[in-house]
Amino acid sequence: MNPWTLRDLERNDIPRILEIERVSFLTPWTEEMFRTQLRFRDRAVTLVLVEDGVITGYTAAWIAADEMHLLSIAVSPAERRAGRGSALLEALLERGKARGCERTLLEVRETNEGARRLYRLHGFREIGKRRGYYADTGEDAVIMEHRRGE
Ligand SMILES: CC(C)(COP(=O)(O)OP(=O)(O)OC[C@H]1O[C@@H](n2cnc3c(N)ncnc32)[C@H](O)[C@@H]1OP(=O)(O)O)[C@@H](O)C(=O)NCCC(=O)NCCS
């Protein structure tokens, strides 16, 4: 059995989430962005993965009508490649399904081969590109889509 559990983000989790965020992304989310996720619980989903009382990963999404948009997913560097990203992604897709979402969309940096592979393994398909999407490097984003039931 996996040594972790998944649950919704709580206010007190934010400092730990920010630690993971800062070592995972070139342009990390701010505290305010996570607070916004909590403020709009009717439209936002933010899940954390916890083991021995410590958060080692999280994912955040936004739901609009029957569509979910995956905004972010990260696992603490020392804990990667052991199924945590997959567990977070599957739990998020389940949550979307329970909320009536027909599809989930996301953008990923073109050079982020690891994440693109993870998404493909979980049924996402690459459906297009957004040119110069990332303001920090000017990199293109690949748009990926997951349809309910796939
Ligand atoms: C992307 C991320 C969340 C994956 O988390 P993880 O816990 O390592 O994911 P998993 O262990 O569930 O990976 C499942 C599969 O995805 C693929 N994969 C994941 N990371 C990979 C990598 N760095 N390189 C190649 N394949 C990778 C592999 O096929 C892996 O299976 P394997 O380990 O048996 O080969 C993690 O690498 C991370 O936090 N990265 C920094 C933040 C980021 O880039 N987020 C995505 C933004 S769009």
CATH classification at residue 34: 3.40.630.30
Distance CA 30, CA 79 (A): 22
pLDDT digits (tens, 9 = 90+) for 8-63: 999 999 999 999 999 999 999 999 999 999 999 999 999 999 999 999 999 999 99
Instruction: List all residues whose CB is within 6 A of at least one atom of ligand 1.
Output: 24, 73-75, 80-86, 108, 112-115, 117-118, 121
Does residue 136 form part of some domain? no
Q: Which atom of ligand 1 is nearest to the CA of 86?
A: 12
Give per-residue pLDDT as tens, 74-126.
999 999 999 999 999 999 999 999 999 999 999 999 999 999 999 999 999 99
Report if residue 144 sits inside a domain: no
Q: How many domains does the structure of the chain reveal?
A: 1
pTM: 0.98
Give the pLDDT score at 100.
96
By alpha-carbon position, which residue is closest to atom 28 of ligand 1? 118
pLDDT band at 73 (very low <50, low <70, confident <90, very high): very high
| Residue to mutate, 22, 25, 81, ligand 1, most ligand atoms under 8 Å from C-beta | 81
Position 93 in a domain:
yes
Residue 85 lies in a domain: yes
Q: Is 77 within a domain?
A: yes
Q: What is the pLDDT of residue 50?
A: 98
Residue 121: inside a domain, yes or no?
Answer: no
Residue 23 lies in a domain: yes
Q: Which atom of ligand 1 is nearest to the CA of 108?
A: 48
Where in the sequence is the domain holding 77, given as residue range(s)?
5-105
In a domain, 134, yes or no: no
Residue 113: what pLDDT? 98
Cα-trace Rg, the chain:
15
Q: Which residues of 16-33 are buried (b: 16+ CB within 10 A; e: fewer)?
A: bbeebbeebeeebbeeee
Mutate to test the pocket of ligand 1, among 56, 118, 121 (most ligand atoms within 8 A of CB): 118
Identify the pLDDT of residue 149. 82
Q: Which atom of ligand 1 is the closest one to the Cα of 80?
A: 8
CA distance 91 to 97: 10
